């Protein structure tokens, strides 16, 4: 008798809200053919659970892989202020349809998320409207730097996000004095958008004159990213703060960051791993325009090598939608950003099937890794006592991604027409089946704020 079966025999209750039977379950022990019992939002038993367990709902996962709930730790859902291009409802609906169970949303909304009141407004907006669990970043800025140590610990806060470039108003933090103040107040890992704003301004005239979106990675070149990344790591060493560098896009940054893993964790995005210049700009035009840019194959190969060697800690989508009308503006007045939360898992499963990474590595990048880095309570693994967040996928399913499938208000994806192998089938949020057989099956959203460990007890291991 297995330990899990023995545990289930000793349970005083043998009724579950949900049983997931017969799947290949990815636990901390590896891939196992076991059942999962979920009760009151938690996993309560693992193993061969028949026939002693009964449930109100059963999912037959035979032939499917059961992953810990996927976390997308970088999304922009544009609410409040820009709901013509995205909302919390539509963004989280896309998340669960794509197999994502938790999202961290960014502070560059209107108004910016810079105060406790701004954070509470977002939490109030998400209450009863979010389809998955959620947390919100607080923006790090000159106007709130001295309060960040208290703001970062408010319920529902994912941590502090700093824009060294590509932002506006009070959210842009590009001066060393401001960055030192931000890094000196608080304990949690600080998420960084690292581009050198001064260099971008100096080089802007080049693209303004050309009007050619293919110049986007020339304007926002590798040096602008590397300069900012080296600078913020140096400041973090001075202040003793730990960092999370978002959407790393260059081989030079990866080589540098590999030497600073004691202090820095690293994110890559599916689009930087999947699209490459100049082809993507020739096919998609400004739909491929992102900050930092999609670059050439040399950089992409370096990103994959960093995934392979463990330099990369997490994958986030950087879901940042704009309408097609906005994207159609002449470059460089066209805005940077694309959808991504709904396609993160299908695109990465296709990479698994292509042999570029293992499914166990993907689990670490999208579940265990985010939970470990950000100190998420009861998230990131399939284990007794943890939240029953499950992303159940069919690794053999072949589908074509299309704009019609995208739930985002903007209604488009750069992967329209892309054929993938591997698809999310069922999405379970704290034991509640939200997506079944690829379609929404709950009438109302059930997302809740993520709980985090206290800052002074967090584990910051990369």
| Closest listed residue to residue 341, CA positions, set 130, 153, 163, 152 | 130
pLDDT, residue 2, reads 52
| 202 and 269 inside one domain | yes
| 21 and 149 inside one domain | no
Q: How many domains does the chain have?
A: 2
- Residue 43 within a domain: yes
| 28 and 121 inside one domain | no
Cα–Cα distance for residue pair 115/150, rounded to 1 Å: 10
Is there a contact between 102 and 96 (Cβ–Cβ < 8 Å)? no
| 221 and 341 inside one domain | yes
- Tens digits of per-residue pLDDT, 298-323? 999 999 999 999 999 999 999 999 99
pLDDT, residue 197, reads 93
pLDDT, residue 50, reads 82
pLDDT, residue 455, reads 43
pLDDT, residue 3, reads 44
- Residue 414 within a domain: no
pLDDT, residue 454, reads 58
| 104 and 51 inside one domain | no
| 33 and 108 inside one domain | no
| 60 and 120 inside one domain | no
| 122 and 234 inside one domain | yes
**Residue 37, domain extent:** 3-66+385-397+422-440
| 366 and 244 inside one domain | yes
Task: List the chain residues with pLDDT less than 70.
Answer: 1-13, 168, 454-462
CATH number, position 59? 2.30.40.10
- Residue 408 within a domain: no
- Residue 410 within a domain: no
| 430 and 292 inside one domain | no
Cα–Cα distance for residue pair 322/403, rounded to 1 Å: 14
- Residue 407 within a domain: no
| 275 and 293 inside one domain | yes
- Residue 110 within a domain: yes
């Amino acid at each position: 008798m297995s330990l899990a079966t023995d545990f289930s025999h000793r349970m005083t209750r043998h009724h579950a809200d949900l049983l997931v039977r017969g799947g290949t379950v990815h636990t901390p022990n590896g891939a196992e053919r076991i059942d999962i019992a979920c009760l009151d939002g938690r996993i309560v038993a693992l193993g061969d659970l028949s026939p002693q367990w009964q449930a109100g709902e059963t999912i037959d996962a035979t032939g499917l892989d059961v992953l810990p709930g996927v976390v997308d730790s970088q999304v922009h859902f544009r609410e409040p202020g820009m709901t013509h291009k995205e909302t919390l409802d539509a963004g989280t609906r896309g998340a669960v349809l794509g197999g994502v169970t938790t999202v961290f949303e960014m502070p560059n909304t209107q108004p910016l998320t810079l105060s406790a009141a701004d954070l509470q407004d977002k939490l109030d907006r998400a209450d009863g409207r979010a389809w998955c669990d959620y947390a919100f970043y607080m923006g790090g800025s000159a106007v709130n730097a001295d309060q960040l140590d208290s703001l970062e610990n408010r319920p529902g806060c994912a941590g502090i996000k700093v824009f060294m470039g590509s932002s506006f108003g009070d959210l842009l933090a590009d001066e060393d004095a401001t960055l030192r103040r931000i890094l000196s107040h608080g304990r949690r890992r600080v998420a960084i958008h690292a581009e050198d704003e001064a260099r971008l301004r100096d080089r802007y005239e080049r693209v303004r004159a050309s009007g050619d979106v293919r110049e986007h990675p020339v304007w926002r070149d590798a040096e602008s990213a590397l300069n900012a990344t080296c600078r913020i790591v140096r400041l973090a060493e001075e202040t003793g703060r730990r960092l999370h560098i978002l959407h790393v896009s260059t081989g030079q940054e990866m080589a540098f960051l590999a030497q600073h893993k004691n202090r820095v964790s690293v994110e890559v995005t599916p689009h930087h791993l999947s699209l490459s210049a100049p082809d993507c700009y020739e096919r998609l035009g400004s739909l491929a325009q992102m900050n930092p840019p999609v670059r050439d194959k040399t950089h992409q190969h370096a990103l994959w090598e960093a995934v392979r060697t463990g330099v990369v800690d997490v994958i986030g989508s950087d879901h940042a939608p704009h309408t097609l009308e906005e994207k159609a503006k002449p470059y460089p007045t066209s805005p940077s950003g694309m959808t991504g939360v709904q396609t993160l898992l299908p695109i990465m499963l296709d990479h698994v099937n292509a042999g570029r990474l293992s499914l166990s590595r993907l689990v670490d990048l999208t579940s265990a890794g985010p939970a470990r880095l950000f100190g998420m309570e009861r998230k990131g693994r399939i284990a007794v006592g943890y939240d029953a967040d499950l992303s159940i996928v069919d690794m053999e399913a072949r589908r074509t991604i299309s704009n019609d499938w995208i739930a985002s208000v903007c209604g488009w994806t750069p992967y329209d027409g892309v054929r993938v192998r591997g698809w999310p089938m069922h999405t379970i949020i704290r034991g509640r089946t939200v997506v079944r057989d690829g379609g929404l099956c709950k009438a109302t959203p059930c997302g809740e704020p993520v709980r985090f460990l206290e800052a002074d007890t967090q584990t910051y291991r990369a």
